[in-house]
Amino acid sequence: MATLVTPTDRAEKAEKKSSPVTDEKAERKQRPRVDEKFKIFSGTANEPLADEVCHFLGMQRGQAQVIRFRDGECYVQIQENVRGADVFVMQPTCRPVDEHLMELLLMIDALKRASARRITAVIPYFGYARQDRKDKPRSPISSKLVADLLTTAGANRALIVDLHTPQLQGFFNIPVDHLFASPVLVDHFRKLALPNLTVVSPDAGGVERARFFAKKVDAALAIVDKRRVEMNVAEVMHVIGDVNSRTCLIIDDLIDTAGTLVKTAQALMDNGATQVYACASHAVLSGPAVENIKNSVIKAVVVTNTIPLTEEADAARMEKGGKISVLSIAGLIGRAIQANHEETSVSKLFM
């Protein structure tokens, strides 16, 4: 006896036949891809930047507990599985430098003992970089010591933004990706289109950085010769290059007390510059820095968020007509981290 098959039966049969495999595949395509072997952790030094980087990469920041005992001793616990993972630890060693450096070392050690496959220390600001040689008898080479500590802790690679001097890469016995914040700063000043622009290096050591910047913005180059009298005190001597009737842009890797910056700007104005701007990768801004900038001839100071601004500097930034402004380098660091994870070249980030 034949069985009558209605259109409804056909539809139900077709639905049963197609649903298990087809729908599962469709659902799999729509589900966001999560790479469990790719993780980013952060210490407490600059969590907002780490969150920005994670947002740029479309991922969640790894869970880690960082607490301190009453005597100041640091305790770290990684709160998720990292076995066999490619892990990146973000931590600038900014104020308080020693506490944040210790946090970074303990996080790396914890990840190593948790069997992470590879650990990359992402250091937007590398503290102790200025102590890169024996400039006085019986003094340490602190930057070399810090590089050795990172390796001993268990870091397999390092990713650092704007070292005080590029030669510091040689202090590491592990591969170092040295990023420059210049592309972010160049893009900002291109949009400003400052007239008759001359890029100025505040000392001989920063000439390479200034030359790169000047080439990118199609500007002239000048150098300020200075003589350092003592720590954090510099005496500006004279300007090498023509700055008369020109807009000057001082570029440096960091601004600490801003003493050198202010004296450099004044020297440029004394030599006929019409206006002076300044930019730097790292806004250390310690001591009287904010007050020095406020009272200077500098029209504007542009920095990046490699380290968070101090409360005083942030308040000055928020003031109407404030001279300090901040650009984010989260995209630059995010692309470098992704390139490292995917084992692709980071050279394009310098273009």
Q: Which residues are catalytic?
A: 226
For residue 175, the SS3 value is: coil
User: How many whole angstroms separate alpha carbon 320 and alpha carbon 317?
Assistant: 8
User: How many whole angstroms separate alpha carbon 265 and alpha carbon 316?
Assistant: 19
Contact 53, 90 (CB under 8 A): yes
CA dihedral 176, 110, 102, 336 (to 10 degrees): 30
Burial class (CB in 10 A: 0-12, 13-18, 19+), 5: exposed
Contact 89, 119 (CB under 8 A): yes
Give backbone dihedrals phi and psi of 66, rounded to 5 degrees, phi first.
-125, 110
For residue 149, the SS3 value is: helix
Contact 332, 349 (CB under 8 A): yes
Give backbone dihedrals phi and psi of 221, rounded to 5 degrees, phi first.
-125, 140
Place of tokens 């070392």: 105
User: How many whole angstroms separate alpha carbon 287 and alpha carbon 318?
Assistant: 19
Residues ≥6 apart with Cβ < 8 Å to 129: 143, 163, 164, 165, 168
Task: Enter the DSSP assignment of 241.
Answer: S
Contact 87, 110 (CB under 8 A): no
